[in-house]
Structure 1
Amino acid sequence: MAKQEAAVIVSGAARQYQATWVKKVFRQKYLFLMISPAVLLTVLFHYVPLFGWLIAFKNYQVGINLWKAPWIGLQQFKMFFMESTDYIYLIRNTLVMNLSVIILNLTVALVFAILLNEVRQKWFKKIIQTVSFFPYFVSWVIVYAIIHALLGSSTGAINVSLIKLGILEQGINVLGDKAYSWLLVIFVQGWKYLGYNAVIYIAAITSISADQYEAADMDGAGRFQKIWHITVPNLIPTFIILLILNIGWVLNSDFDLFYLFTNPTNWETMEVLDMYIYKFGLKLGNFSYATAVGIIKTIVSLIVVIGANQLSKKMTGKSLL
């Protein structure tokens, strides 16, 4: 008898919860309709293509029905890790450049946003913000043309000027020398995304309560003390969230950037996983191998995001999930 009563109570609670949930959904039906196109596009372009991962486990060739292609299992994965040493320099290049870009970009953008916020002349602040944001809208083709015009070994304006001044005997091949590849990528991406990343911090600064600054003024705090004890601590949560979001892209690279800046003389330090996948997939037609490398990249990125989120949660109490 008691069991039957308990079952009735549980069943009634379940029906009540379901009715409540349906009512909440119905009340917010217009919001769900608004986000439905974004959800549909996400499913269509991000989840449906995951069925293509099947190519990595089959010996697929163009023109062959995917379902009829012979099954080869983990052969492509073994080839990448055991029969080739490419993964050593690929992972090295990808991690060094992308981690450096993520950390430095977020840090420099934070400092830039704080300094910009301290500018008292509004017209001057708007000019600086516009100038810093403008490179974000410039395509990588134009960026490469600008860098080549400035740093080309024989015709670059900077090299030509330094040679005429007697500082250099011959131009420095910044675009071709592998010794400068990492610094070049970090600098170019930092310049391009500085204004874009700073916007998020500027928005976070505007949300800081003015009461905190007024209390600091009453306590006699100076300008630097207010920055250090109020602005920076309030921006740390934003920094952590952005770091977790960006760390998931640590194995993803700006393909246009590396496609343009990679050449036969610097490929050893410039070739990253995305370029490697492009080379074997589209240029050499080895789609199964390229897909396998893409799967490895995706899985590692997912593990890195989850790990970074858990580490942040344990150390700072701030997390995304």
Structure 2
Amino acid sequence: MKSASVMPRRGIGHTFWQQRYLMILTLPAVIWLIIFSYFPMYGVIIAFQDYNPIQGFIRSPWLGWDNYSELFNDPTFISSLNTTLKISIYKLLFGFPAPIILALLLNEIRSARFKKLVQSLTYLPYFVSWVLVAGFMYTLLSPETGILTQLLAFVGLIDSNTMVMGNTNTFMSLVVISDIWKNIGWNSIIFLAAIAGIDTQLYEAAVVDGAGRFKRIWYITLPALKPTIIILLIFSVGGLINSNFDQMYVLQNSMTQDAANVLSIYAYKSGIILGRFSYGTAVGLFQSVVAFVMVLGANYTSRKLTEESLF
């Protein structure tokens, strides 16, 4: 019996030549990624230096771990780390389920026009800058003319002269609520796409068996969304050490600076305002390394518990 002929193994050069037109199309994106994402990574070396722009990367004095020794002994850094983790955990607890719930509710809407209207209204805030969102919030929550402030005072929740945006006790709640309001519609797109890929025959069979809407959601929709939810949750865990600089910077004021002093604000003040570029870079590198480790840990835990993971 003759052995089956074996196809000759082609090299990577031949594969590139066969797909040369696709490679040419992707070339600008690859060049952009190298220039703006990989090449600047060389700059993290200044986290271990006393960087001087005149001396440059090579000639600046080498400090080793001195920046990190100062970092971990700085009470302001510890306070900023605690604030960052608190805000990020609240965003994860309340902000992560919000787009899932919205996607499930939108999927149950039968009127196509009303569904598109709700989608448009929830998507729109994502395209509004945080500067406009902050101005909008200050207008609504103004103690003199704010409609929302007057409504809260009318129902007896606050005093009529309360400065909501200047209250450290309410600042964290405003940060979480505004983040959910701005991103809930956009983040729900991923879950709506996953729901659209579910076989409709499963729902038809469930209806025949007498399953109501809630049971169809619980036993069909949510299990189908499980891989998507887990993958996005892993990414979200990696983002716990980071914070939205734009949001925190525009929402803070003279009365809420301590409550808004997250790691990104701390790095900005240390590196840009005070001109300590090496120290600010050390803070940023610390965030990146911790986020990477947290992603690996979340991925490992997810793979062990649910058999779903990034890799």
- TM-score of the two chains, using structure 2 as the length reference: 0.91
* Equivalent position amino acid for 1:238 in 2: T
Instruction: Please report how far the alpha carbon of residue 123 of structure 1 lies from its aligned counterpart in structure 2 after TM superposition.
Output: 0.5
Deviates more, 1:242-251 or 1:126-135: 242-251
Residue 98 of structure 2 corresponds to 108
Q: Secondary structure at the match of 1:149?
A: helix
Could you tell me whether the CA contact under 8 Å between 1:89 and 1:269 is conserved in 2?
A: no
Could you tell me whether the CA contact under 8 Å between 2:77 and 2:266 is conserved in 1?
A: no
Instruction: Please report how far the alpha carbon of residue 172 of structure 1 lies from its aligned counterpart in structure 2 after TM superposition.
Output: 2.5
Matched, 1:225 2:215: yes
Give the Cα–Cα distance (whole angstroms) in 2 for the partners of residues 185 and 176 of structure 1: 12
* Equivalent position amino acid for 1:244 in 2: I
Could you tell me whether the CA contact under 8 Å between 1:149 and 1:156 is conserved in 2?
A: yes
Matched, 1:126 2:125: no
Instruction: Please report how far the alpha carbon of residue 166 of structure 1 lies from its aligned counterpart in structure 2 after TM superposition.
Output: 7.3
Residue 213 of structure 1 corresponds to 203
Instruction: Please report how far the alpha carbon of residue 219 of structure 1 lies from its aligned counterpart in structure 2 after TM superposition.
Output: 1.7
Give the Cα–Cα distance (whole angstroms) in 2 for the partners of residues 62 and 169 of structure 1: 52
Give the Cα–Cα distance (whole angstroms) in 1 for the partners of residues 237 and 25 of structure 2: 29
Residue 50 of structure 1 corresponds to 41
Matched, 1:292 2:299: no
Instruction: Please report how far the alpha carbon of residue 272 of structure 1 lies from its aligned counterpart in structure 2 after TM superposition.
Output: 0.9
Matched, 1:311 2:285: no
* Equivalent position amino acid for 1:44 in 2: I
C-alpha distance after superposition, 1:85-130 (max 9, x if no partner): 2232211111121232234223111111011110111100000000
Give the Cα–Cα distance (whole angstroms) in 1 for the partners of residues 156 and 241 of structure 2: 42
Could you tell me whether the CA contact under 8 Å between 2:43 and 2:57 is conserved in 1?
A: no
Residue 247 of structure 1 corresponds to 237
* Identity across matched positions, percent: 37
C-alpha distance after superposition, 1:31-56 (max 9, x if no partner): 33333222222221121111111212
Give the count of matched residue pairs. 306
Residue 159 of structure 1 corresponds to 149
Deviates more, 1:62-71 or 1:199-208: 62-71
Q: Secondary structure at the match of 1:268?
A: coil
Q: Secondary structure at the match of 1:110?
A: helix
C-alpha distance after superposition, 1:275-302 (max 9, x if no partner): 1111011111011111111111110011
CA separation of 1:166 and 1:21: change in aligned 2, threshold 3 A? closer
* Equivalent position amino acid for 1:104 in 2: F
CA separation of 1:288 and 1:206: change in aligned 2, threshold 3 A? same
**Root-mean-square deviation (Å):** 2.1
Matched, 1:204 2:194: yes
* Equivalent position amino acid for 1:55 in 2: I
* Equivalent position amino acid for 1:278 in 2: Y
Instruction: Please report how far the alpha carbon of residue 132 of structure 1 lies from its aligned counterpart in structure 2 after TM superposition.
Output: 0.6
